[in-house]
Copies of this chain bind each other. A is one copy, B any other.
């Protein structure tokens, strides 16, 4: 937990409205409970001293709203939509993005997205393959330490995974 590590926080969107109530899945917003709990999580993360150098979000409404709450709480100065954080987004494309970005040694990056994608991305970073072995609840968080150089696939270390109910 030295301050010079590259860390990634994978954050699942909060509780969203039912699919039946929206024509387009992408339009489903957070529910009232989703807003409330996600705000609680954001406040808690801020209290824990977290701050992100970049905050990328899936463009879908429920993820975008989750990321906006994180930004409003001061966890990140910036907020960027990133298309491959959509459901069934392309992990390899994100790896290219990450490689091209060339973050400095001390970097905290947050990604807001969806299940099962976030869990699969985390599994690929940590173990190099996918096994549905991580349980990520809505507004749940996974924290990874990425290697300083080279591909992070199968080379990252899991230092945090928490459901909201065990964080609040």
Is B161's CB under 8 angstroms from A158's CB?
Answer: yes
A contact face: mostly helix, strand, loop, or mixed: mixed
**Which residues from B are CB-within-8-Å of A134?**
157-158
Query: Which of B131, B157, B158, B160 is within 8 Å of A166, CB to CB?
Result: B160
Q: Among residues 127 to 168 in chain A, which have CB atoms less than 8 Å away from a CB atom of chain B?
A: 127, 131-135, 137, 143, 145, 156-163, 165-167
Tallying the copies of this chain within the complex gives 2
**Do A161 and B163 form a contact, CB below 8 Å, given A127-B131, A131-B127, A137-B1?**
no
A158: chain B residues at CB < 8 Å are 133-135, 158, 161
Are B137's CB and A157's CB within 8 A?
A: no
A126 to B63, CA, bound (A): 28
Please tell me the size bucket of the interface on A: 20 to 34
A2 CB to closest chain B CB (Å) equals 12
Q: Is the CB of A1 within 8 A of B163?
A: yes
- Are B161's CB and A160's CB within 8 A? yes
> Closest approach, in angstroms, between the C-beta of A146 and any C-beta of chain B?
12
Alpha-carbon gap, A137 to B2, bound state (A)? 13
Q: Cβ of A145: which chain B residues have Cβ within 8 Å of it?
A: 135
A48 at the interface (CB under 8 A from B): yes
Tell which of B1, B156, B159, B165 touches A161, judged by Cβ atoms closer than 8 Å: B159
Pairwise interchain contact B135-A159, C-beta atoms closer than 8 A: yes
Q: Contact string, A34-67, partner B, CB cutoff 8 A, digits 1/0?
A: 0000000000000010000000000000000000
Interface residues of A (CB under 8 A from B): 1, 48, 126-127, 131-135, 137, 143, 145, 156-163, 165-167
